[in-house]
Structure formats: C-alpha cells, structure tokens
A and B are shown apart, each in its own frame.
Chain A
Amino acid sequence: MSESHYQLFSCCVPVRGFARSAIYDLQRKDYWFIPNDLCDLLIKEKGLPISGINEKYKHLDIESYFNFLFENEICFPCRKEDLDRFPELDLQWNIPFEFETAIVDFNREPLVRLKRIVSELNKYAIPNIQIRFFEAVEEDQFKEVLIQFSDSNMKFLELIVLNRFSQEFIDSMLHEFPKIRLLILTNSTKRSRRDVEQATVFETTEHITSHCQCGLIQQAQFAVEMRTYCESRLHNSCLNAKVSIDVHGNIKNCPSMKESFGNICDTSIEQALQHVNFKSMWSIKKDDIEVCKDCEFRHMCSDCRAYLKKENNRCSQPEKCNYNPYIAKWKGEEGYVPIEHCGTYNNRGNYIPDLIKIKQINMDLWGG
C-alpha cells in the first residue's frame, strides 16, 4: 500500500493554452505556467501510477515535473485506493440576487434621472454598485448622489470621479457613507493610495472621460480565485449578473455596448432583463470565445464584450487584448507579433490560426 499514485489538489486546476498552459491555484490565489505536455498528462493520465507515467512518457523529464508539482503542493502522493476520496471541484456558481453588479454612468447632470435610477435599482437586493462620473460634479451634487444610493438596498459602493474635491470633503463623505468601499479620483496630480475607514481611495493621474476607456485586458486585473474561475467556466466573466445604465439613461449589459434595452425613464430594469438578448450575453463563456479559448489566462481574465476584434461575431476576442496566446507573448515583449500575423479571419469573424506559421514563429522564439 504505497503512495505510488498522485492526485491533484482539487483547488489546483490545469488550464490548457495553445503555446503553454497554466495551473490555477484557486485557494492561494496564484498560478504557475506549465508546458502543455505536462498539462495534457495531468488531464489525461488520472489514475495512472507515477511509474507508469514514467514508462509511457520516456521522452519527458517526469521526475522534475513531479518534483515541481509536489514542492508547490499542486499534487500530493496518493495511494491508488485513496484516489476516489478526492473528488474534483464541484463547478457551480450561484448568487442569491437577481443580479450582482450595477454600473451607473453620469455626465454633467447626475441629478436628472437619479431618483428614477435609484428607485429602479431598489427593487432588487444587489450587493455592488459602481458609479462613474465622466465630468466634473459639484460637491453638493456628488453628495446628493451618495445620499440617494446609500438609502438603497445595496451593500457596497464604488465611485470613479474627477478629483476636484478637498481631502476634507472626501473624508467626510467616506465617514458619512460607510457603504463606499472604493473611491477612484481621476485627473489627480499624483498617484496615491490611502485607506480611510472602510474604504480605499486611489488617486490616479489618468483622465477617464468616457466609457470608451473600459475594456482593457491587463494582467494587473487578472484574478485567480474560486468564484471567478467557476463563473468564467459557466458564464461570461464580464457581463454575467451585471446591469448598466449609461450616461443617457439607457439600460444595457455594459455602458460600452451598443444595444440598449430601453431607457430607464420609461423602461423598468425588469423589462430589460426579460429581453431575450439581455441574459444571453451573460452566457458567452471564455471557452467559446475566439482566440481566448486557446489562452491559458482565459479563466482569470476580465473579458470584454463591447469592444471586439470582429464586430460581426459576438464571440470575437476582446479588441483591447494585447496578448498572443499562440506564441505566449505580450505586446511589448521581444518577439511579439499580433494574432493577425498568426492566422486569418473568415467572413463570419471566426479566427483561423495558421498552424504552420505559428509553429515556425514558436521555433524561432522558443526553439525545440
């Protein structure tokens, strides 16, 4: 009864990419890159003893692979008869809410539709609301918005607003409205971070003047985490359980999307949610998205359905993604070429990778 086998900890999930793969550590919120042959082996050879794997994969350095896996507590040595005691993660993602996040955008006149918006959102118990002010607002207007939203059912408030307030005013707002958890002050003269009571305040020198600045795919925003992973496997990682109201009051999946499901002035959120297209956007999984489905980052990625490489394909890759999973290079890294150099699009907007060309590029880049 020896520990002749191995078992993956179920919180460590291999995600296969085209050029390389990753193991997501959903418990410790981290990840490792692994070669594809190791990823395939972990997925395919469950239940095979390590000696058998050694036998079958003579061309691979199985010993150093397993040293790596054991050292990082990705796998553990396991007896054959114990293998079944460790089931895979139950992939489920549930929320006790109709939807989970609301984004509300404002331009110059935030108070015009404010009451209507809050009363609509108040019909639901939703935990998170993000409010973005794209133009400067006066202190009293800002405060009025906070008063209205703070009275609502929601739990956490995130704010993005042009920095023209005194620190005193900001602090008094954070004190008065404990639901504020995050405040991003744009157009600041410097970058800074400070924690005030329950909230974090970021100053950024960036100018955020419209929703067009959204949709960037950045490593800094990747999240390796149980809920994110499950959500990404089952739903769209950006739009799922999200309702947005743009600067004109249009109810949308996301303010950057074209399709409006009616204006908040004459349409209820319930009506919008019932529209057949609304929730269908929630179900576009990363595994179904062109290019992303070949990317090892796909289940830690924020995704974007508003700005797409090919507009005629709703499963097209996010336009503002600068990673090429076919050669494992980010834009700016040596040897990077965009995915357009690695394949072509057909007229339906599907991406067809040019396998021969990719192989050639990878040979030049990575050798072997």
Chain B
Amino acid sequence: MLGEEADYSTDLVMEWLLYANGPNLIRVNTEDEITINKIKLEAASSQVSIAVLPKHENINLDELDFYFYRRGSLRKKNPYHPLGFPLADHNIRTFINWEWKVCSEYIIDCLSHKNSWGNYRKRVVNKLASLQLAAKIGFKIPNTLVTEDVECLKSFIRTKACIIKPLSDIIPIHHDDHFLHMGTKEMSAPPLQSFYPSLLQTRIAKWIEIRVFVSYDKLYAMAIFSQNNTKTELDYRNYDRSKMNRMVPFELPGKIKAMVHAFMQEANVDTGSIDFILSPEREYVFLEINPVGNIEMLSENCNYYIEKHIAEQILDQINS
C-alpha cells in the first residue's frame, strides 16, 4: 500500500483489511526512504526487490498479490553534495533525480501489472484535457481560456464575470507567517504587468457544488452548500470553520451517473474525486477531477464508510 504518512483514509482501509483477517499488509509512505536491493532483468525472468527504510522491510515484488495506490511516490534522498559550481551542481542533481525516477517508476509499473486499486501513472490528469473530455461526454464546462496575451484576456473578461485558477495542483507556499493562497479567485481587471500563461474561466452561477468520489464501479456524491457564505462562494476550500458549509449526501440522477462512469472510462482512471457546479438551471458543470483527491470529507460528512467499501473491493479481487 503506497500512501502518505498522514493519510487517514489509507489508515482506515488498512484497518478494515486487517479486521477481515485479510492479507499481510506492507505500507509504504512517500516519506519513507527506499533502497533498491536489486532490479534484475534476464531474458527468462526478472526479479525486483526493494527495501524500505527505516522500517527495514524487504519487499520482493514477486511475492506481492495486490497493490493499493493512494497517493505519493517512492522516494530516495538525492545524496549529491554541491561542489560550488551552480550550473554543474544543478545538472548533476537533476540527473540523479532522473536516475531515480526511472527506477521508482519501473517498480511502480511492475506493481501496477498486479491486481490493484488506484494508479500512480494516472495520479494527475491534465486539467485542460479533462475539461475537453468532459465536454465531449456531454457535460457543460465553463468557457476556458489559457493565455499570456493581455488583449486576448481583456476581451475574454469583458463579456462575462471570470475566475482565475491554477492549471496544475495547488501546493502550500508560505514564508514565516505569510501564506500564499492559491485557490480560485475572481478576475475582473487585467493585470498591469505581463503575466505567465494563466487559466481563466467564466464564472458559473451556482446553486450548489457537487463532489463525487468514484472507486471503480462505486460512486458517492455529496452536495456542498457553499454559495450562501461569501468566504466559500468561489472556492469551498476557503473553509469557514466557525460555520462549515453544509455537506450532505446527494443522489445523482441516473443519467449523470452514467456520464461520470463514461468519463472515467474515457479518461482511463479508476478512482478520483470530481467537482461539479450544479447551476440554478440544474446543469451539471464539470470543473475538474483529482484522481488522488480527498476521501475522508465525503466519508465522514455523509456517513458513507467509503474506506470500508474500498477494503471490500480489494478483498473481492484478492479472493476471486
């Protein structure tokens, strides 16, 4: 099981597996240091064996029956000490990182050929590609523009209210007590300086937001009432902890469920969280998908026991 140390949903899946007297489990976290014992390739067969430090667990890939990928990667510290030549130092560091990437991705690919839940190679889905695909499936999507041309931007924001948000995943950026917030923001005037290619979308009128978690053939939906709180109007992740947005179980219409499954199949992802806006006209507007998105929030607020179901899905596969 590959996850992150503070990954509560992986903890729960493990507990359910253990309770079922299921398989022997090995949990590897992205924080763990990996050692390669050997990756031995021969014409007839190949052997892959790694060790996880500081747990000192030796893992022989041949002996694994099932692979659970939640998030993160296999990591190793880059041992390079800079010599004081910035360009060379940088390139040597980068080179060593690449060397490791080949190893770690090969190992993960070997794992992925086994029975598995989750997929490392599909942990990130291109935001633009997924919008395009969603539109092809038949979902409404916000009008979307990526540009670094100020005129192009001006004409886009002139007609409709717009928002700006990252193309990629947000990462926490802070210095001392200053936090840079990277969520969705309103965009009403063009920036004064030149700017990096940025993702703009028309602002969608919202009745509620829908968060859907998909785990293979299972689908869980939750309504988020974020529109009544000015803090969460644009982005429900601007949590108002004194008055959390209402988050309650939601039953998707059958047609939308089928479209979600069609989307997952076309995008070639098996698990993930999808965000929709449900417009006042009751249109499901696709915003984005995160294949390694949050599970706990749905599971806890809606009393869904998603982690228990995931464990059952895994046990079904192991026992079949």
Contact = CB atoms under 8 A, between A and B. Distances in A.
A191 B100 CA distance: 56
A90 B251 contact: no
Contact of B250 (A86, A92, A94, A230): A86
A96 B16 CA distance: 5
Interface string A95-139: 011000000000000000000000000000100000000000000
Contacts of B244: 27-28
Given A87-B251, A89-B303, A90-B303, A96 B308 contact: yes
A90 B304 contact: yes
B225 interface: yes
A125 B19 contact: yes
A330 interface: no
Given A85-B250, A86-B248, A90-B249, A11 B12 contact: no
Contacts of B251: 84-87
Contact of B300 (A10, A73, A85, A226): A226
Nearest to A84: B251
Interface in A42-100: 73, 76, 82, 84-87, 89-92, 94, 96-97
Contacts of B246: 9, 11, 27, 73, 76
A27 B301 contact: yes
B305 A94 contact: yes
Nearest to B305: A94
Nearest to B210: A85
Interface string B155-183: 00000000000000000000000000000
Interface string B290-320: 0000000000111111001001000000000
Interface in B241-260: 243-244, 246-253
B298 to A, nearest CB: 12
B39 interface: no
B249 A73 contact: no
Nearest to B12: A96
Contacts of B283: none
B18 interface: yes
A73 B232 CA distance: 15
Contacts, number: 64
B302 A90 contact: yes
Q: How large is the interface on B (under 10, 10 to 19, 20 to 34, 35 or more residues)?
A: 20 to 34
Contacts of B247: 11, 27
B235 interface: no
A10 B311 CA distance: 26
Contacts of B18: 96, 125
A357 to B, nearest CB: 40
Contact of A92 (B249, B253, B303, B311): B303
Interface in A116-169: 125
Nearest to B246: A9
B246 to A, nearest CB: 5
A91 B249 CA distance: 12
Contact of A125 (B15, B228, B282, B308): B15
Interface string B21-59: 000000000000000000000000000000000000000
Contacts of A96: 12, 15-16, 18-19, 308, 311
B16 A28 contact: no
Contacts of B302: 89-90
A84 B311 CA distance: 29
A86 B305 contact: no
Contacts of B214: none
A87 B311 CA distance: 25
Given A73-B225, A90-B304, A96-B308, A11 B19 contact: no
Interface in A8-40: 9-11, 27-28
A45 to B, nearest CB: 20
A28 to B, nearest CB: 6
A96 B309 CA distance: 12
B277 interface: no
A9 B303 contact: no
Given A85-B251, A125-B18, A125-B19, A94 B301 contact: no
Nearest to B207: A82
Contacts of A73: 225, 228, 243, 246
A11 B249 CA distance: 9
Contacts of A87: 249-251
A28 B243 contact: yes
Interface string B219-238: 00001010010000000000
A89 B225 CA distance: 16
Contacts of B253: 85
Contacts of B19: 96-97, 125
Nearest to A73: B246
A28 B15 CA distance: 27
B208 to A, nearest CB: 9
Nearest to B15: A96
A27 B244 CA distance: 8
Interface in A184-238: 226, 230
Nearest to B225: A76
Contacts of A9: 225, 246, 248
30 contacts: A9-B225, A9-B246, A9-B248, A11-B246, A11-B247, A11-B248, A11-B301, A27-B244, A27-B246, A27-B247, A27-B301, A73-B225, A73-B228, A73-B243, A76-B225, A76-B246, A85-B251, A85-B252, A86-B250, A89-B249, A89-B302, A90-B302, A92-B303, A96-B16, A96-B18, A96-B308, A125-B15, A125-B18, A125-B19, A226-B301
In order of increasing CB-CB distance, the 10 nearest A-B pairs are A96-B19, A96-B15, A96-B16, A10-B248, A9-B246, A9-B248, A85-B251, A87-B249, A87-B251, A90-B303
Given A82-B282, A96-B308, A96-B311, 6 more contacts: A27-B247, A73-B228, A85-B250, A86-B223, A87-B251, A226-B300
